Structure formats: structure tokens, C-alpha cells
Structure 1
Amino acid sequence: MKPHVICLMASSVDGRTHHSRWRPKGAGADWFERIHDELGGDAWLIGRVTGSEFAKGKPYPATTNATFPRENWFARRDAKAYGVVLDAHGKIGWGRSDIGGDPIVVVLTESVSDAHLAGLRGEGVSYIFAGKSEIDLALTLEILNRELGVKRLLLEGGGAANGAFLRAGLVDELNLILCPAVDGARGAPIVFDSTDAESQQRAPVTAMTLESTRPLGGGVLLLRYLLQNDPQRAG
């Protein structure tokens, strides 16, 4: 069963997401965590680049004498919410097992080294496998639902991860915190992004319905859209 996927992002009026670049400074930046808590997901998911910003450790040792089966491994299954991070090739050394109290679950491919798995296990970081060499996002959602009971997942960036889920037809809802600020710079991080190779791939979104517009104060708006995806192209 696929969890309900809600993309939650805060952006300037020109769609940029790097708060430190916004002018005026600090416009609406404190609303993200409040709305995150209101939405109450069973898990939240971020990409590798965003995930690395939370890491406190160094890369794990390059070698180990241990070998591990390419099977899902969980340090915990009893959390109220999980922090899920896409890290296909095992680049992040965590130095921690949770983010804000939410246990980390890393999404890997089977190409990751035994040494990296040893590092994750040693720090009590759970991991799942969702592909041979590339992450299958639909499979990721299926595993999170089956193994951890995730029914409601908050997709929270960065733009590359959001864009990948969007192009896969896996985003059910967009909650956009629109802040009274501008960036204006070319190449700044945006809500949905792609690589050059993916730039011609179109998302299978067939409709977007504005469900609500909620003023949050100070010129900040929360826009809630429901997305419909072409079922023949989704997943």
C-alpha cells in the first residue's frame, strides 16, 4: 500500500527555497516546523544533499571484515515518526541515530558497501534497500508502509528529491508556504528540480485542485493543492 505523500515546502514568491538568500531576511522562515507538526506525518523524507546537512559524523571506514545480506535492517520499529533519507550509494556518515528525536531510516541501493552498512549498524541507523543501483521510489514507499506502518509521509526536499517523486507520479498533495520574499538569482534551489538529463521528463500530473488558502500572518500564505496523477504513468 502506498502512503499518502504530502510535499511540504516553504518558498519565496519566485519559488526559491534557500531561506538565507531571501530578501527581506527572515520572512516567514519560522512557519515550516509549525506546519510540519500540524500535518502529523508518520514519516518525513529528504534527499541526500538535504540529509547531509543534518549529519554530525565523518564518512565511515572504507573497509570491514564483516559481510551483510542486502536485507532491510531496523534499529527501531516503535517510533511515532521516522526521518527517511535517500542515500543511494551510502555517502553520509551520520554520527547520530535520530533527527529531532525521529529515528533515521536510510534508503540505499544494493551497490552500497559492507563497510557502510557496518557504520550504519554501529550507530543504530536503520536502513532499507530499494533497488540494485538506483532507488525505486515506489518501492521505497511500499517498504515504509509494509515494514514501519507509514501511512502519511511528508516529502520535504530538496528540489531534486521532490522533483523525482513528482515525475514518478507519487505526490498526492502539495502544501506550499508562500513567503513575502524574493531571491531572484539564477540557479538558486527551487521547490521541484531535475538534472539536465531529466529536464525533458514531464510529471504525470493531470490536475491540481486548490483545496484551501490559509493566511498565516505577516503576508505568509499556506496553499494546499491536491494532485491527480495519470495512473498509467505513476509509480
Structure 2
Amino acid sequence: MYIVCHMMSSVDGRSLTDGWHLDFASPCYEETAASFNADAWLCGRVTMQEISHAKDREYPRGLAKSPLPRTDHFAKRDASQYAVSIDPKGRVGWKTDTALDSHIVEVLAESVEDDYLAHLQSIGASYLFGGKDDVDLHRVVETLGRELKIDKLIVEGGGHVSGAFVNAQLADEVSVLLMPLVDGRDAHPSSFEVAMDKWQKPSYLKLESVEKLDNDVVWVRYTRKK
């Protein structure tokens, strides 16, 4: 599987766009992301909650009448594209099995509530388990490739998810859209974040291309040095 981390960043490396007032930023990001023609796109829980338009843990209770097995569940194996949600505790309250025209695949920890699994089954969404209490990204990538035949995956954030893929040496390519502004807010996360207790080593990159786009945006693409 070929994995691309595609991020949008200020010149000083900040990834949260609130207060930027750049109407061209999101269309530019979506257009460049689509150019990768990925079989699946992946985001973390916070981003997926925004996409779902649901409150935290907003799903019905009482659906599970008995404990459900912690086995992967794939409701659809022939989708044109998959939306992979890294959501270990099962907090995204999806209403349907689709996010932005892509079939939803929730990545969960085995400690998730039975009612959440029953809810995902009831709406026709898929899910897989990434570990007992947390998510092993290597296991997730292997499962996606084996079960859904995903050949290209684009990781679209947030910064902790992108940082985790890079830190795990799973990102074949790092793609960054540099927006023409300096954010300057020290409380805002960077495009790639790794907790110190999980940080392993720097990820060294090889520059593949630099392209100046409209509106003074610069698109920089790197591949991982082997």
C-alpha cells in the first residue's frame, strides 16, 4: 500500500485554519487531494466528528442485546472509495454509512462499547479493530490492504494522526500545501505532532517536487528516505 500524508499548513507549520480567512484554501486542498486518486482517505476522530455533524457519542443506546464479538466487520467490500475514521473509543455518531460519498470504516479499540458496534451495524457501516485499548497503525494498514484491497491511502489529518503515520515510518509520501500566511499562535498544533513518550526518531525525506499554485500557495512533495 502506498500512503500519502497530505496536509495544509501556514508557513510556520500550523494546521488549524480558524481565523485564516482564505476562501481559496479548502478548495485548493480538496483539489490537490483528489489528484492522488486514492482508494481511501483517513482522518482522526476530531475531523470525522466535524464531517459527521454529530455531537460526541451521539448514537442510540440499548441496541446491543448481548456482548458482540471483537471481530472485524465489513459491510461493503466493493466501494469506489473508503472513509477511514481513527476513533478508538467509538465517539463519532455517524448517521449513515457514507461520509463525503465514501463508505465509512471505523477503526476501533476492543474496549469500545457494544452499543456502538451495534449502531454501526444498524446503519451499514464497516469497522475493524486496531488493538485492545489503542490503535496499532501497522495492523490497521495490513487489514485495509488484505480485506478491502486498498492500494493507495491518503491521510488527511489532523496533525496527531499524520504525525503518528510519519512516526511509524508508514508514510511513503509527505505532501504539504503551504498557505501564504504566518499563523503565530503557539497554542495551535503543527501539521505533524507526536507525543514525546511515543516519538521514535526524525523522519528523513527526499524532495520530489515544488510547485507554485494560484493565490501564492506552494505545494511541496517529499518521499521517505529508505
Distance 1:6 1:146 in 2: 18
Q: Superposition pairs for residues 1-235 of structure 1, below 5 Å? A: 3-22=1-20, 25-26=22-23, 28-57=25-54, 59-63=58-62, 64-195=64-195, 197-198=197-198, 201-203=199-201, 205=203, 207-228=204-225
CA displacement at 1:181 relative to structure 2: 1.4
Which SS does the other structure have where 2:25 is aligned? Answer: coil
Deviations 1:158-185 (CA, angstroms, capped at 9, x unpaired): 0111111111111110111111112110
- Amino acid of the residue matched to residue 10 of structure 1? M
The alpha-carbon distance between structure 1 residues 133 and 152, as it changes in their structure 2 partners (threshold 3 A), is same
Q: TM-score, normalised by structure 2?
A: 0.92
The total of aligned residue pairs comes to 223
8 Å CA contact 1:79–1:102 kept in 2: the answer is yes
Which structure 2 residue ranges, 5 or more long, are not aligned?
Answer: none
Structure 1 segments (4+ residues) deviating >4 Å: none
Percentage identity across paired residues of the two chains: 39
What's the Cα RMSD here? 1.7
Distance 1:190 1:27 in 2: 21
Which structure 1 residue ranges, 5 or more long, are not aligned?
Answer: 230-235
**In the alignment, which residue of structure 2 is the partner of 1:233?**
none
8 Å CA contact 1:88–1:108 kept in 2: the answer is yes
CA displacement at 1:131 relative to structure 2: 0.8
